[in-house]
Amino acid sequence: MNDIICARITAGGSAAISVLRISGKGTIELVSEFFSPPKKLLKAPGNSIVYGNFHDGSGRIIDEVLLSVFRAPHSYTAEDSIELSCHGNPSIAERILGILLSKARLANPGEFTLRAYLNGRIDLSQAEAVNDLITAGSSKAETAALMQIKGFLGRHLSEILDRIREARLRCELAIDFADQDLPGIDLEDLKDRIRGILRDAEALYTEGSSGIKLREGVKICLAGAPNAGKSSLFNALLKQNRAIVTPMPGTTRDYLEESFSLRGYPIVLWDTAGLRDSDDSIEQEGIARSYALMREADLILMLYEGDFPGIGDELRDFESKIIPLASKADIVSYPKLPEGHVSISVEIKDGLSDLAEMIIRRLSLPSKIIDRPLITNSRHLAALSRGISSLRDALTALDLDAGFEIIAFELISAASALEDILGVLPTDELLGKIFSEFCVGK
Ligand SMILES: Nc1nc2c(ncn2[C@@H]2O[C@H](COP(=O)(O)OP(=O)(O)OP(=O)(O)O)[C@@H](O)[C@H]2O)c(=O)[nH]1
Ligand SMILES: [Mg+2]
């Protein structure tokens, strides 16, 4: 924590500019050894920009640079830090970094954000959201991560945590009172409190499941008989001519995977081999993969042309996630579709927005996420689930009159699960795991 770290914070390759970040106590003095005019930098106030030349220490100029100067605690890391912008030729950034590394150390992945956390500027859920934002696959995922960085989730969890701690305090008081023969505490009130906490925690959990989908992408599999129009729909949804389409049944064999954004939601879409009995061993392998993907998918779009063949025994397990699609509606007439079916025509671009509506409805994706804290991280969701089961155990213990020691114990476990999310007392191992997922420079 006491040394000066630096790293490139923009992507490699050529660009208009490259940016390096240097952070830690003594950063401004260190950079001034390689900057002219040095006095201008040494006197620069926080949140200011200084223009000058970066040199190699012996006066040989490497590049013209702009330094954004931040003074503790008003910086990303809450330490003195500088963001150095140089020309975007990768070899210039490398030479500058090389010179800085004679006096500083290369930052580990996520180390700038780790320092922001260790210096108390952000909580752990905010730190993890920084990484989510960098890797977000769609606009809704970005919004959710941004909200977390702003601390929405952290504040909501802290509030739940305070309520758990208060309930625990009541239990501990009850234990003391019993020792001193004082009147006991209001049991109904305690029960109501724990029930209320449990309700809020469960709501956060339920929404969290769709939050995870926001981050990882909803998996949708196109399936159905050969020639039903799967690859045509695949191309239409991606708005690009990705899959081979021919009038010959059995065109697609190996599956295709692409990602796209559907009304702001990240979707992973699979086009698969048509399902039929086949003697061709290559096609058989393709069909086996179609089944494997259907199993993994969150939703299956089952295309059929003409009469609905029904859902056979081999698809029974997947029934709840199937949306039947009547295809080629421009040449096939569908007088009355069964409930829950959608008709589409890729040829005349009809029914595609009904399909989008249906997908969003079937996945119960939140239509708005701006005003609610949302869990989007599976580590957080797992911790919340541990907290919920401790809260349930506390309620059961209360119902069974198990004694305040037991209830207090369950409440302590519930609190510690939420503390894991906020990083109140995280272990080194947990911190190492979280920050190692970051890229160097963040
Ligand atoms: N008129 C019309 N033809 C379509 C439509 N969608 C697909 N087709 C045609 O149907 C044929 C089969 O389309 P594909 O998209 O290759 O069908 P598939 O389900 O991927 O077929 P396999 O890969 O063999 O399983 C092609 O000739 C397409 O042009 C549609 O909406 N309207
Ligand atoms: Mg195909």
pLDDT score, position 390: 96
Q: Are residues 276 and 306 in the same domain?
A: yes
Q: Are residues 301 and 165 in the same domain?
A: no
Q: Are residues 220 and 358 in the same domain?
A: yes
**Of 118, 133, 166, which one is at a domain's C-terminal end?**
118
Distance 317 CA to ligand 1 centre (A): 26
Residue 338 maps to a domain: yes
Q: Are residues 265 and 323 in the same domain?
A: yes
* Ligand 1 interacting residues, C-beta cut-off 6 A: 226-232, 245-247, 249-252, 274, 327-328, 330-331, 345-347
**Ligand 1 atom at minimum distance from 245 CA:** 16
**Of 340, 362, 384, which one is at a domain's C-terminal end?**
362
Which ligand is closest to the CA of 343, given by its number?
1
Listed as ranges, residues in the chain with pLDDT below 70 are 1, 137, 179-184, 366-372, 425-427, 429-431, 433-434, 438-442
Q: Are residues 243 and 341 in the same domain?
A: yes
Residue 193 maps to a domain: yes
Which range of residues forms the domain containing residue 329? 216-362
Q: Are residues 243 and 355 in the same domain?
A: yes
pTM flag (> 0.85): no
Q: Are residues 284 and 231 in the same domain?
A: yes
pLDDT score, position 360: 86
pLDDT tens by residue, 255-305: 999 988 888 788 899 999 999 888 889 989 989 999 999 999 999 999 999
Q: Are residues 322 and 426 in the same domain?
A: no
Residue of 221, 222, 227 to test ligand 1 pocket, by largest number of atoms within 8 Å of CB:
227
Residue 308 maps to a domain: yes
Q: Are residues 271 and 322 in the same domain?
A: yes
pLDDT score, position 154: 85
Instruction: Check which CATH number belongs to the domain holding 27 and give it.
Output: 3.30.1360.120
Q: Are residues 14 and 71 in the same domain?
A: yes
Residue 141 maps to a domain: no
Residue 129 maps to a domain: no
Q: Are residues 224 and 189 in the same domain?
A: no
Per the structure, the count of domains in the chain is 3
Nearest to 215 by CA among 269, 150, 265: 265
**Ligand 1 atom at minimum distance from 271 CA:** 20
